[in-house]
Amino acid sequence: MPTARPHALRLARLRRDLARQKLDALLVTSEPDVRYLTGFTGNDSALLVTARHAFFLTDGRYTEQADQETRDLEILCRKRGMMELAGRTARRAGVKRLGFESRVLTVAQHEELGRQAPGVKLAPTTDMIENQRILKDPEEVDSIRRAVRVAEQAFLDIRPLIRPGRTEAELAHALNSAMIQLGADSPAFDTIVAFAERSSLPHARPTTRRLRSGDAVLFDWGARVGGYCSDLTRMVFVNIISPFYARVYGAVLEAQRRALRRAEAGIPAAEVDAAARDYLKSQRFGRRFSHGLGHGIGLQIHEAPALNARSTAKLKAGMVFTVEPGVYAPGRGGVRIEDDVLVRRSGIQLLTSAPKLLRDMVLRTGV
């Protein structure tokens, strides 16, 4: 049977937020938020939370699964549309002011909910549950650690396959398969493998381009384990490192070190971004760092907090995020180094441990 305590605590926190915002109930339609509050791993579901009850709304395909995976919820099976059941349930529960997730509910769903719940005031909310999810509890951190271990072991397992003649697509497929074999639910996102000049594309899609001796190879990958994600980036260099890559790699690695030294509870996320960005500017790579320093990870591969120059967040104990500075030179190549970080009350903890010193990233293939 599922453990009730984490989900019960999360629902209790949500109910306190409902009272503060003078809401009678919240309709949760985001799949990750439903999972966070209930433990349900399927889809086509919603959750209506009131001060005293939690109604789990789904269809006939998932009622048995919901009964197995959740506790202390009233499971309701829809016969027609989800908004019809949500509106009818809200009326039955005596809801007068119903919050909904404004970033998730579509216009069509909002209109249908209004038709099905006449007399109920619909109140948009923003990030009520996301603000909870930003601080990971011990169970969540443990799942992320397991996702990191699977991803790192998979990378070790496929290293012997990184040889001239292999294609980007072949290596991406091998890495994905290794993660599944090691127990991942799935890859956390579309795995990136980019050779040489294609490594300047931050979101490169693997192609049939074949690996040659002397190429740099960028791997950006992660595993999803127990619903939670890991996210890593490493570079390897086949037999030799060119002066260009040696210089860029050294600058990116030092930028990451400076950001990690700055990261701790109470520090603005923008300052952590600045620690890396300012160093890259000093090395004349400032314009080549084209994205934020990092992002939160959890049930989603991109969630709060954002670490960029515009972020207003301050780091807090329990946050888990990536630190991934990069430098990209179109036509020549790019370097990105990415690790996953847990903020603690005192300092931070690196959750990732895959080697990243330049001397460890040269792969001797003999070809």
* CA–CA distance, 204 with 334 (Å, rounded to integer): 11
* Residue spans of the chain under pLDDT 70: 1-4
What is the per-residue pLDDT for 3?
47
138-363 shares the fold of 5-133 = no
Which tens digit of pLDDT belongs to each residue from 267-291?
999 999 999 999 999 999 999 999 9
* CA dist list (Å): 224 to 73, 131, 229, 299, 334: 26, 22, 4, 8, 26
- Supply the pLDDT for residue 367: 73
In this structure, what token pair is assigned to residue 365?
């293939």
* 3-class secondary-structure state, position 358: helix
**Residue 348 in 3-state DSSP?**
strand
pLDDT at 366: 73
Q: Name every residue whose Cβ is closer than 8 Å to that of residue 366 and which is 6 or more positions away in sequence.
A: none
| % of the chain beyond a pLDDT of 90 | 98
Distance CA 276, CA 62 (A): 46
Helix axes 269-282, 243-262, angle to 10 degrees: 150
- Work out the angle between the directed axes of helices 138-158 and 168-181 (0-180°, nearest 10): 130
CA 16 to chain centre: 26
The structure tokens listed for 215 are 């190429």
Encoding tokens for residue 157? 């397992």
Cis before residue 305, ω within 30 degrees of 0?
A: yes
Helix (H, G, I), strand (E, B) or coil at 20: helix
Give the whole-angstrom CA distance, residue 224 versus residue 230: 7
The residue ranges of every structural domain in the chain are 5-133, 138-363
Give the pLDDT confidence score for residue 5 in this predicted structure.
77
Structural domain 5-133, CATH architecture:
3-Layer(aba) Sandwich (3.40)
Distance (Å, whole) CA 328 – CA 342: 27
Q: What angle do CA 30, 117, 81 make, to 5 degrees?
A: 55
For residues 66 and 58, the answer to whether their CB atoms sit within 8 Å is yes
Q: Are 84 and 78 a contacting pair, CB within 8 Å?
A: yes
**Class of the domain covering 138-363:** alpha beta
Residue 292's pLDDT is what?
97
